[in-house]
Amino acid sequence: MKNSKSARKPEVQADPLEPRHLDFSKGVRGKYYDSMRKGTNVVLIAPDLLDTFPDSESVNEALRGLKKIATRSARPTPRPRKTASATR
């Protein structure tokens, strides 16, 4: 008969999107300041999208296509109507 202390519990993987405590005690203020000023942006992609967007170029290509679609489908601003008093 096995001792209950020697029995291993199955490991449960943590959900990567679940909020967790972050330790900033060893952080360095301004470490990425220069790279951010140069225009570097870091975006985290959800794990289920990694097969669709494996690199930054595929993400940029998709966003450019979305931008074109959004620009074409945007409604033009309506022109103000002339009122009867303005036409006299």
- Position 28 in a domain: no
Q: Look at residue 10 and tell me if it is in a domain.
A: no
Does residue 16 lie in a domain region? no
Residue 21 belongs to some domain of the structure: no
Residue 67 lies in a domain: yes
Number of folded domains in the chain? 1
Determine the structural domain holding residue 62 and report its residue range.
41-74
| Predicted structure pTM score | 0.41
Q: Is residue 48 part of a domain?
A: yes
Going residue by residue through the chain (88 aa), what tens digit of pLDDT does each one get? 555 566 677 777 878 888 888 888 998 999 888 877 787 677 888 999 999 999 889 999 999 999 999 988 877 777 788 877 655 5
Secondary structure of the chain in HEC code, one letter for each residue? CCCCCCCCCCCCCCCCCCCCCCCCCCCCCCCCHHHHHCCCCCCCCCHHHCCCCCCHHHHHHHHHHHHHHHHHHCCCCCCCCCCHHHHC
